[in-house]
Amino acid sequence: MNNYLDFERPLAEIEGKAEELRALARQNEEMDVEKEAAALDAKAEALLAELYENLTPWRKCQVARHPDRPHARDYIETLFNEYTPLAGDRNFADDHAVMGGLARFNDHPVVVIGLEKGHDTKSRIERNFGMARPEGYRKAIRLMDLADRFSLPVITLVDTPGAYPGKGAEERGQSEAIARSTEKCLRLGVPLISVIIGEGGSGGAVALATANKLIMLEHSIYSVISPEGCASILWKDAEKMREAAEALKLTAQDLHRLGVADVVVKEPVGGAQRDRKATIEAVGRALESALREFRRKKPETILKHRRRKYLEIGSKGLAA
């Protein structure tokens, strides 16, 4: 059973009809529906391809936030061996929105850090919907430091609506924690590869995505502000999120053109949620080839590469 997005309604109808027919046939042995159902399948498949080929920026936001997309935990479980979670910021708490630890990626030891949204009500609450608190960023800083000292590459999986806007988070220095985490990213002498697997929400994403290579999934987004937030500030109307999504240029394709994303990984037809396994494998291949570029590179070279990248970003706009 699929979870459909609003623009997928026509698709839901066709797929629903096919399913209904088959259910009927199971109850009534004399009925032969397969031909009719197969025709509906073909129609659905064509429609799905068409819908996903022409996703508007707002629809991409919806797909990027789809609850059935693979999340950080799924990537870690599938692509890594010997995953050994490490917890806590040694200061206040362990933030479950940020998961991470030591792991092997294609036999090589690495540090992996992921912003995890959760997959059902219980885990979403536990993960705070992927919104990290200062403790989460401070845990990430600690893990990146560990990686740097033991010469292990860092892989971050980014999927967050943004840093948590809470009272305690502010009191414990949310902005300082984000600033230090970004600073840590920029100080590493080991390669840092980031993948935006869903939502890259503002400063809360920058803190973990300031990387040598930024990989983005085809229907992921990365933005200075959510389209709803932007709409309510600039249009004074949160319902204008479609216009805002358009104006913000937040799709993986726009970011690639602007030189922010280095690699865009194609998703299966119908988005990552329709074939989680294929998506995860494609990300695995992109990670492997990104890491290979930095193998045997000197720490200073890796650090300078990252700094130069950020100093040069935006020297030209979309027009150029």
Angle ∠(36,38,39) on CA atoms, nearest 5:
65
The answer to the question of residue 16 lying near other proteins (CB under 8 A) is no
Q: List phi, psi (to 5°) of 73.
A: -60, -40
CB of 284 to other proteins, least distance (A): 26
User: How big is the site for other proteins, counted in residues (CB under 8 A)?
Assistant: 55
What distances in angstroms separate CA 2 from CA 6, 78, 83, 156, 270, one per listed residue?
12, 22, 30, 28, 11
What residues numbered 238-297 form the site for other proteins, per CB under 8 A? 243-244, 247-250, 254-255, 258, 260
The answer to the question of residue 302 lying near other proteins (CB under 8 A) is no
Q: What CA–CA distance (Å, rounded) separates 5 from 86?
A: 36
> Of 76, 110, 112, 178, which one interacts with other proteins (CB under 8 A)?
178
Among the candidate windows 30-38, 78-86, 189-197, 311-319, which touches other proteins by CB under 8 A? 311-319
CB half-sphere exposure, 287, CA atoms < 13 A: 27
Q: List phi, psi (to 5°) of 101.
A: 165, -165
Residue 184 φ/ψ region, left for φ over 0, alpha for ψ in the -120 to 50 degree band, beta for the rest:
alpha
Cβ closest to other proteins, residue 8 vs residue 254: 254
CB of 288 to other proteins, least distance (A): 25
CB of 274 to other proteins, least distance (A): 27
The answer to the question of residue 1 lying near other proteins (CB under 8 A) is no
- For residue 195, what are its two tokens? 């993948």
Cβ closest to other proteins, residue 33 vs residue 258: 258
What residues numbered 68-107 form the site for other proteins, per CB under 8 A? none
Q: Which spans in the chain are helix H?
A: 9-27, 34-53, 57-64, 72-79, 121-126, 134-149, 167-171, 174-187, 202-209, 227-230, 241-248, 252-257, 276-294, 299-312
What residues numbered 126-165 form the site for other proteins, per CB under 8 A? 163-165
* Per-residue mark of binding to other proteins, 197-236 (x: CB under 8 A): -----xx--xx--x-----------xxxx----x--xxx-
The answer to the question of residue 314 lying near other proteins (CB under 8 A) is yes
Cβ closest to other proteins, residue 225 vs residue 264: 225
- Look up tokens 């030891």; give the residue: 109
The SS3 assignment for 85 reads strand
> Of 90, 149, 266, 307, which one interacts with other proteins (CB under 8 A)?
307
Q: List phi, psi (to 5°) of 258.
A: -80, -5
Cβ closest to other proteins, residue 1 vs residue 311: 311
What distances in angstroms separate CA 179 from CA 208, 247, 294, one per listed residue?
10, 27, 25
> Of 4, 7, 294, 310, which one interacts with other proteins (CB under 8 A)?
310
Burial of 319 (0-12, 13-18, 19+ CB in 10 A): exposed
Cβ closest to other proteins, residue 76 vs residue 98: 98
What residues numbered 27-56 form the site for other proteins, per CB under 8 A? none
Contacting residues toward other proteins, per CB under 8 A: 163-167, 169-176, 178-180, 182-183, 185-187, 202-203, 206-207, 210, 222-225, 230, 233-235, 243-244, 247-250, 254-255, 258, 260, 307, 310-311, 313-320
